[in-house]
Structure 1
Amino acid sequence: MKIFIIDDDDLNLFLTENLLALEDATHEIKTFLSGTAALEALQTGGEAAVPDIIFLDLNMPVMDGWEFLEALAPLGPSISERCRIYVLTSSLSASDTTRSKEYALVSGLIHKPLKIEDVRELVSQ
């Protein structure tokens, strides 16, 4: 399973990546410190670059999670058929939960930190 983690916080990247690796060492995990870098990887890598799951932080400089989702819109069909996107956020704002439901590409919202139970549920789907 190919997984992208997009988060500007090194500690969150480390924790999420290691939790995923502990659950299943066969995951191919790529980390990105910005939505811009992840978007570039998706646009230049073709269909082979599309991961099975993207964990997306909302609050990042330069390109936040919402802007990343907007930028993905033109790639929508090729992404939505192969990839599930989970917003991974520390925000407890109800408006973030509501807004995430407005994006067809978003499969769900998970509060940080990611827990082993979350990983098991997502990977089993």
Structure 2
Amino acid sequence: MKTYLIDDDNLATYLTEQLLRAEGFSDAICTFQSAKKALDKLLMRAKENLVPQVVFLDLNMPEMDGWQFLDALVPYEEELRGNCAIYILTSSLALKDLEKSKEYDLVAGLIHKPLDSEEIRAIQSRLDEGPTGA
């Protein structure tokens, strides 16, 4: 499984990547410190039908934040739906973030940092069940 990890925090990225590897979650993890670079790569890969199955997305980043990343994907939702699940990783406890995340069809969930083994197993279980509503 291909996974994108988008976060400008080096330590958070390192810890999340190590945990994903330890849990055997993904055989290919691409990390990005820039949401803009991740978006460019994702859209390029979408043309080749090679999108990541899972994207872990931080909300608070410079240049392009997580919300702007999600807004930029809206025109591509149809082709990404069922093929690419986005999980927001955030240190924010704001209820408004949870509510706003529900406005995006591609967002499969919002997870409070740090990601843990239990969450990874829950995500894996959902992925094994396959896309819903398709």
TM-score range, shorter chain: over 0.9
State the partner residue of 2:10: 10
Q: How far apart, CA to CA, are the structure 1 residues paired with 2:14 and 2:50?
A: 21
Q: How far apart, CA to CA, are the structure 2 residues paired with 1:122 and 1:93?
A: 22
Superposition misfits of 4+ residues, deviation over 6 angstroms: none
Q: How far apart, CA to CA, are the structure 2 residues paired with 1:49 and 1:5?
A: 16
1:38-90 Cα deviation digits (max 9, x unpaired): 11101222244310100000000000000000001111111112011000000
Decide whether the 8 Å contact of 2:3 with 2:29 is kept in 1. yes
Structure 1, 93-102 or 37-46: larger mean CA deviation: 37-46
Paired residues, number = 125
**5+ long unaligned stretches in structure 2:** 127-134
TM-score (norm 2): 0.89
TM-score (norm 1): 0.95
Q: How far apart, CA to CA, are the structure 2 residues paired with 1:102 and 1:25?
A: 27
Q: How far apart, CA to CA, are the structure 2 residues paired with 1:19 and 1:124?
A: 16
What SS class does the counterpart of residue 118 from structure 2 fall into? helix
Residues 1:54 and 2:94 are matched in the alignment: no
State the partner residue of 2:124: 123
Query: Superposed, which structure 2 residues align to 1:89-108 within 5 Å?
Result: 89-108=90-109
**5+ long unaligned stretches in structure 1:** none
Query: Superposed, which structure 2 residues align to 1:12-51 within 5 Å?
Result: 12-24=12-24, 27-45=27-45, 46-51=47-52
Decide whether the 8 Å contact of 1:39 with 1:68 is kept in 2. yes
2:104 counterpart letter in structure 1: Y
